[in-house]
């Protein structure tokens, strides 16, 4: 348990960039965030500016690059999404943030030609106001332990040669040429790797269960149906390092004796679909996938399938139904997919992040993997850190890292609605999405791991961490999740289908001021019934956000019910706008602005709002120059 107390005792090489090629390179982050902020324009500008300055630009990796050549490449998500587009120059060790194409000539002239740093484009740490030159002095990166994400921000995801040059497919080759399926399973079991999709089931055990099945046909499916609203770790891995996923899939297939694999990608991720498809085609061309894997005569097929927009398909048996061309409805387990899955054959389904860990476990050995994280939860976990936090983006830390480290140090602190640091603003973190729960200030020193989170009624889930400030209404958040699961319920189990609907109606009663003394009790009773009466994880966990907010924010619920008041002012139905007669000068502006004629009063006399007519639109408050309208 020593690592749990001191999670920073990880090996020295913590993040970023190792020395693949000596050639100098400019890397433009082409993750979804940076692309939306104009990374492609930056890339094109670099191409023309570099050529214009007489620099020899290489776009495809060649081992024999000469000294004066500079490689220009795109990478997958580098994680620091809010600061994009990101441009890094290696081996100079410079990270430029928020780069616009107008900034490119300066980078080319000052940095590439003149070996100087362009100060204004460096990241400024809001806490210390110091400029950070690169990853080492940037608290967002320096405090992370990037393993799965390490190559995401460095390798060109569309270049298989670069992946291979960087040691890629070495583990897969060993698995096929030197190792027996049993040895592979044992190695993965010894590493203690647990499923990163949320369940946390030991991966080696799952593989073993499928390995011992006596069947000539078996399947491995990669679960890339990352449906949690507020999580995008898998997306970034598929976009940033698709070959690591394929390599993991191949090793898994070899371990259980399958020769067909499938990657099921969420339909909302078109770029991930495109990159995965391209990676499969490239691997086939290189003879890594196909009829004769690494010359062993074994065959290995990999197909990429796009989902069609159903959260429940993240559940194993629902995903199998979807692949078979059916509605994505789960079925009872056992039989487990490892015994009878796709087309009735033994099938294992692993999460993207789980598979991305596999090649490293084989390369470095299970002991190295076990030396990070906690005893029960070894290794690292990626989290999508979002919401009211200064540095939103993708972080990877060892299991056992306290919440405080992630939110306050890596995340740079809690912010208000305008994005300014709000020192006392921390209210809660929602972890595990619609299946998870919330963590509150007293949990700031809780080490994040499977076992510790379960004890406080939350779960790791797939890794979404949504930070919420004091201005967030927790009843509304519970309602938000309940609405999500209610819409996504497949309808098979009555308690999930109807129960979530009734829970949503009860939450609406609380929010709209109709609830009474019995509402909370009824909600709790119903929530437990839904948990017990549902077949799959969606229904079993659907009431978690309600139960968890009730556990930690019961007072807020009671304020809504008994005082008809929302302390954050977010629940519109509970607003009671009034005009302060002391302040009101009777200017009549609000009278004219009110769209429903709810305001009355003589000129130069204090006005009055009729609560029966008022629709709480806030138009009056906006027009009042002396802020006499209160409570809205």
Partner 1 sequence: MASTPIAVDRAEKFEKVCGILDRYARRPSGLIPILQAIQHEYQYLPEEVLTYVATSLDVPPARVFGVATFYAHFALEPKGKHVIRVCDGTACHVKRSIPVLNALHEKLGTSETSKTTADMLFTVETVACLGACGLSPALVIDEQVYGQVTPERALALVDEINAKEESLAAASTASAEQLSAEEAHD
Residues forming contacts to partner 1 in the complex (CB under 8 A) are 32-33, 35-37, 81-82, 84, 226-232, 235, 266-270, 305-311, 322-328, 384, 386-388, 392-394, 417, 430, 433, 464, 466, 468, 472, 477, 480-481, 484, 488, 490
Distance CA 459, CA 75 (A): 31
Nearest approach, Cβ of residue 273 and partner 1 (Å)? 11
Place of tokens 């990270």: 95
Nearest residue (CB) to partner 1, 46 versus 269: 269
Of 26 and 238, which CB lies nearer to partner 1 in the complex structure?
A: 238
CA-based radius of gyration for the chain:
27
Q: Report, in Å, the least distance between residue 392 CB and partner 1.
A: 5
Unique residue bearing structure tokens 């509605």: 327
What is the closest distance, in whole angstroms, from the C-beta atom of residue 408 to partner 1 in the complex? 18
DSSP string, 76-127: S--S-GGGPSPEEEETTTEEE-S--GGGHHHIIIIIIIT----GGGBEE-TT
Closer residue to partner 1 (CB): 162 or 226 = 226
**Please, what is the minimum distance in Å from the beta carbon of residue 495 to partner 1?**
20
Distance CA 345, CA 217 (A): 6
Provide the minimum distance between the beta carbon of 213 and partner 1 in the complex, in angstroms, as a whole number: 22
Minimum gap (Å) between residue 224 Cβ and partner 1 = 11
Among candidate residues 485, 479, 476, the one with its CA nearest the CA of residue 530: 485
Minimum distance between the CB of residue 438 and partner 1, rounded to whole angstroms?
11
The residue among 264 and 591 lying less far from partner 1, judged by its C-beta, is 264
Secondary structure of 523-592 in HEC code, one letter for each residue: HHHHHHHHHHCCCCHHHHHCCHHHHHHHHHCHHHHHHHHHCCCCCCCCCHHHCCCEECCCCCCCCCHHHH
> Nearest to residue 143, comparing CAs of 21, 43, 235, 8?
8
Q: Categorise residue 592: left if φ over 0, alpha if ψ from -120 to 50, beta otherwise.
A: alpha
Q: How far is the CB of 393 from partner 1 (least distance, A)?
A: 5
DSSP helix, strand, coil percent of the chain (3-state; round to 5): 40, 15, 45
User: Residue 499 and residue 205: Cα distance in Å, rounded?
Assistant: 34
* Angle made by CA atoms 555, 561, 563, in degrees to the nearest 5: 80
Closer Cβ to partner 1, 229 or 606, answer by number: 229
Could you tell me the smallest distance in angstroms from the CB atom of residue 595 to partner 1? 12
Closest to partner 1 by CB, 152 vs 490, is: 490
Nearer to partner 1, 256 or 265 (CB): 265
Q: Give the dihedral sign, CA 289/75/16/354.
A: negative
Of the pair 211, 492, the CB lying nearest partner 1 is at: 492
Q: Which is nearer to partner 1, 38 or 513 (CB)?
A: 38
């Amino acid at each position: 348990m020593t690592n749990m107390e001191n999670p920073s005792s990880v090996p020295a090489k913590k993040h970023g960039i190792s020395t693949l090629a000596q050639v100098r390179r400019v890397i433009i982050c082409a993750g979804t965030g940076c692309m939306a902020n104009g990374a492609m324009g930056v890339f094109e500008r670099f191409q023309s500016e570099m050529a214009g300055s007489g620099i020899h630009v290489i776009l495809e990796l060649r081992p024999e690059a000469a000294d004066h050549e500079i490689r220009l490449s795109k990478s997958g998500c580098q994680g620091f999404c809010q600061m994009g587009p990101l441009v890094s120059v290696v081996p100079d060790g410079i990270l430029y943030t928020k780069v616009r194409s107008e900034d490119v000539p300066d980078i080319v002239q000052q940095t590439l030609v003149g070996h100087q740093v362009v100060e204004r484009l460096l990241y400024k740490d809001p806490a210390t106001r110091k400029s950070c030159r690169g990853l080492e002095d940037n608290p967002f990166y320096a405090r992370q332990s990037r393993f799965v994400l390490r190559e995401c921000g460095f390798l060109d995801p569309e270049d298989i040669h670069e992946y291979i040059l960087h040691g890629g497919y070495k583990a897969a080759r060993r698995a096929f040429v030197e190792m027996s399926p049993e040895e592979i399973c044992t190695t993965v079991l010894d590493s203690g790797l647990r499923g990163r999709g949320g369940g946390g089931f030991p991966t080696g055990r799952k593989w073993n269960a499928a390995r011992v099945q006596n069947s000539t046909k078996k399947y491995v499916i990669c679960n890339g149906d990352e449906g949690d609203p507020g999580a995008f770790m898998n997306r970034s891995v598929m976009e940033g390092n698709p070959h690591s996923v394929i390599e993991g899939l191949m090793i898994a297939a070899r371990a259980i004796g399958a020769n067909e694999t499938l990657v099921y990608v969420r339909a909302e991720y078109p770029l991930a679909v495109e990159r995965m498809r391209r990676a499969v085609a490239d691997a086939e061309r290189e003879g890594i996938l196909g009829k004769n894997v690494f010359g062993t005569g074994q065959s290995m097929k990999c197909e990429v399938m796009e989902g069609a927009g159903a959260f429940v398909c993240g559940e194993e048996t629902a995903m199998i139904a979807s692949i078979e061309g059916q509605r994505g409805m789960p079925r009872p387990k056992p039989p487990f997919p490892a015994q009878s899955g796709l087309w009735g054959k033994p099938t294992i389904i692993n999460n993207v992040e789980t598979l991305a860990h596999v090649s490293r476990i084989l390369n470095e050995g299970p002991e190295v993997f076990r030396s990070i994280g906690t005893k029960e939860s070894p290794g690292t976990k990626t989290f999508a850190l979002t919401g009211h936090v200064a540095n939103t983006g993708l972080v990877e830390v060892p299991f056992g890292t306290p919440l405080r480290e992630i939110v306050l140090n890596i995340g740079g602190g809690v912010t208000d609605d305008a994005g300014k640091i709000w020192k006392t603003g921390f209210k809660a973190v929602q972890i595990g999405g619609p299946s998870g729960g919330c963590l509150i200030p007293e949990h700031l020193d809780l080490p994040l791991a499977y076992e510790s989170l379960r004890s406080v009624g939350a779960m790791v889930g797939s890794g979404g961490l949504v930070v919420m400030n004091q201005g967030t209404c927790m009843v509304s958040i519970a309602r938000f999740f309940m609405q999500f699961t209610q819409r996504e319920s497949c309808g098979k189990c009555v308690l999930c289908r109807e129960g979530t609907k009734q829970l949503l109606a009860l939450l609406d009663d609380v929010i709209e001021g109709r609830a009474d003394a019995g509402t909370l009790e009824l909600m709790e009773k119903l929530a437990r019934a839904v948990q017990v009466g549902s077949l799959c994880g969606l229904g079993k966990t659907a009431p978690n956000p309600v139960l968890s907010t009730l556990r930690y924010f019961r007072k807020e619920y009671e304020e809504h019910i008994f005082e008809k008041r929302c302390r954050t002012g977010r629940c519109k139905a509970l607003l009671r706008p009034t005009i302060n007669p002391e302040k009101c000068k009777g200017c009549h502006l609000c009278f004219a602005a009110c769209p429903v004629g709810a305001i009355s009063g003589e000129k130069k006399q204090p006005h009055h709002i009729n609560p029966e007519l008022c629709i709480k639109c806030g138009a009056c408050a906006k027009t009042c120059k002396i802020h006499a309208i209160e409570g809205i």
